[in-house]
Amino acid sequence: MEEPIVDQELFGRFKKCAVEVLSVSEDQVVPEARFGDDLDADSLDLVELVMALEEEFDISVPEQELEGISTVGEAYELVAGKV
Amino acid sequence: MNPQGRRVAVTGLGVVAPCGIGRDDYWRGLLGPGITAGKATEVADWDPSPWYSSPKEARRADRVEQFAIAAATEAFTQAGDPNGGLGVDPARFGTIFATGVGGLHTLEEQVEVRMTKGERRVSPFLVPMMMANAAGAAISMRWGLQGPNETIATACAAGTHAIGNAARLIAWGRCDAVATGGAESSATVTALAGFANMTALTSTGISRPFDVDRDGFVMGEGSAVLILEEWEHASTRGARILGEIVGAASNADAHHITAPSPGGVGAAACMRLALEDAGMTPADIAQVNAHGTSTPLNDAAEAEAARDVFGDDGPPVTSIKGVTGHPLGAAGALEAAAVLLSFEHRLIPPTANTKVVGLGIDVVTGDAREWEPGPTMSNNFGFGGHNGTVIISPPR
């Protein structure tokens, strides 16, 4: 079960980063989308995405916290919890 | 190529250069005006998107790799198969590529990112984008070439060395086809400052190889890719053969990190080795496509070497660097492209901007010169004392 996305403003900023870094359309960036299978993103893409999110939200995401993150929803929750 | 190797045909050619993208525009550019203003000539308004499936994919490739992919696409298409198979076993299809520097633009940008934003903001793509072998690796991956995949980095001689080594892999039986050539895009602010401070760059902004008033090179960029193919394989499948690599040589001055050996003795020895490899005499050579950078030292040494090899009545000599500038590791590839096109158009492109020579060699200046295409020698010399020569014959 994905957590419901409550803050549309925050998710909009998250989505903008993903669209830019991963070269995907806005429609693809939905909570259940898997980075590997659905967004064609490999591990280096995710490093770049995390950098963009850290800049956008002025947060820090240590590498170990990314373990087990495989969907947009999971990544969003991780970010939202730090903002 | 000795020792009694298999014949090597050129069946594909693709070019990206400031004077023209694509073989036809490139040729028109070579006949056009030379460079008269600037430390560097660059591919204007470069847009990599036609050669990449997404902006993400293009962004992951340094400009030097983008040039190589664009040139390789044209080369494979010309060879008869945009997808690159050509009926060759992928395990026997090699990639021998050249660059002088690699992804210097990326490195310079990321140094600035580190200085301004800190280490945690340095791109995870820095390494695969800046590494010298990135362009060759990208070609191998894009077209599924699983034979030897090696990058030559002998500075300004790299392009010629790559073509020579690629041809030998076919001549000696290791490969049936090889994608070869070179790419360069390293005219960053820092690199230009380095070349300027060592007084290799022109201070007048004019590239005029062999001219009495030459005062340094203009930095160029671009890529040329050649598809080499074992002759029988190429002719059996009905490929259009653009030329034949008949000889190649490589040696070293062992003299100075930047200056050529006095009298161009290293260069002359290299030219003789290539003639021997081709089983030819100096009288067989109908054109010399010179390194001709427009620096006082190179052009004097190269002219002396050519006089030594060919005597006072040698073949016509041309340098395309009046138009292309000096694209370092791509130079030999772009010059081989010019030689192949000079066969096709039955014209020797002129040495742009050059008016008065006085070095005792027959430099083609002014208009392009009509000729009966014949075996052509292309020379390149690199910082580090690297010399490279290839001899290319018209198809017959």
Contacts of A61 in chain B (CB under 8 A): none
Mean model confidence pLDDT for chain B: 97
**Cα–Cα dist B379/A81, whole Å:** 63
Question: CA B36: distance to chain centroid?
Answer: 22
Phi and psi of B382, rounded to 5°? -120, 150
A7, A37, A40, A42: which is the annotated catalytic residue?
Answer: A42
Residue B191 lies in a domain: yes
pLDDT attached to residue A63: 85
Cβ–Cβ < 8 Å for B285, B391: yes
Is residue B97 within 8 A of residue B180, CB to CB? The reply is yes
Strand partners for B379: B389
Contact A23 B124 (CB under 8 A): no
Q: Measured between CB atoms, does B141 come within 8 Å of chain A?
A: no
ipTM of the complex: 0.85
- Reported as a pLDDT band with limits 50, 70 and 90, residue A2 is low
β-bridge mates for residue B358, sequence order: none
- The model's confidence at residue A3, banded by pLDDT at 50, 70 and 90, is low
Within-domain flag for B31:
yes
Q: Which of B105, B161, B233, B291 is catalytic?
A: B291
Whether A51 sits inside 8 A of B57 (CB atoms) is no
- Chain A contact present for B54, CB below 8 A: yes
- Give the Cβ contact number of residue B89 at 10 Å: 12
- Residues B68/B132, Cβ–Cβ less than 8 Å: no
Q: What is the pLDDT of residues A67-81, one digit of tens each?
A: 889 999 999 999 999
What is the C-alpha separation between B268 and B389, in angstroms, rounded?
Answer: 10
Section A17-30 average pLDDT: 96
Q: What is the pLDDT of residue B1?
A: 76
The residue type of B126 is: L
Count of beta carbons in the 10 Å neighbourhood of residue A31: 16
- For residue A32, give how far its alpha carbon lies from the nearest alpha carbon of chain B (Å): 22
Nearest residue of chain B to residue A40 (CA atoms): B56
Q: Is the per-residue pLDDT at B3 higher than 80? A: no
E strand segments, A5-73:
none
pLDDT band for B37, please (50, 70, 90 cuts). Answer: confident
User: Which among B190, B185, B221 has a CA at the least distance from the CA of B63?
Assistant: B185
Tokens of B348: 């020797």
Q: How many CB pairs under 8 A join A and B?
A: 19
- Is B42 a domain residue? yes
B374 class by beta-carbon count within 10 Å (0-12 exposed, 13-18 middle, 19+ buried): middle
Q: Which of B56, B57, B117, B125 to mutate to test the interface with A (most CBs of A within 10 A)?
A: B56
B183 found inside a domain: yes
Please state, in angstroms and rounded to a whole number, the distance separating the CA atoms of residues B159 and B66.
Answer: 17
- How close does chain A come to B73, measured CA to CA in Å? 23
Query: pLDDT per residue over B131-182, tens digit each?
Result: 999 999 999 999 999 999 999 999 999 999 999 999 999 999 999 999 999 9
Domain count, chain B: 1
CATH of the domain at B12: 3.40.47.10
**Residue A45 forms contact with B (CB below 8 Å):** yes
B124 vs A23, A47, A55: nearest CB: A47
Owning domain of residue B233: 8-393
CA distance B258 to B219: 16
Distance, in Å, from the CA atom of B104 to the CA atom of A22, rounded to the nearest integer, reads: 24
Residue B359, domain member (yes or no)? yes
This prediction has a pTM of 0.95
pLDDT at residue A5 is higher than 90? no
Which domains, ranges and CATH numbers included, belong to chain A? 8-80 (1.10.1200.10)
Mean pLDDT of B227-241: 97
Check residue B130 and give its pLDDT: 98
Domain assignment present for residue B3? The answer is: no
Q: What is the pLDDT of residues B237-291, one digit of tens each?
A: 999 999 999 999 999 999 999 999 999 999 999 999 999 999 999 999 999 999 9
Query: Looking at the partner chain, which of B55, B59, B121 has a beta carbon nearest the beta carbon of A51?
Result: B121
Active site residue A27: no
In B240-327, which ranges are continuous DSSP H helix?
A: 265-278, 296-310, 321-324
- Phi (first) and psi of residue B277, to 5 degrees: -60, -35
pLDDT per residue as tens digits for the range B56-87: 999 999 999 999 999 999 999 999 998 888 99
Cα separation, B288 vs B359, in Å, equals 15
Q: How close does chain A come to B138, measured CA to CA in Å? A: 17
CA B387-B135-A49 angle, to 5 degrees, is 145
Q: Is the residue at B2 inside a domain?
A: no
Contact B56 A21 (CB under 8 A): yes
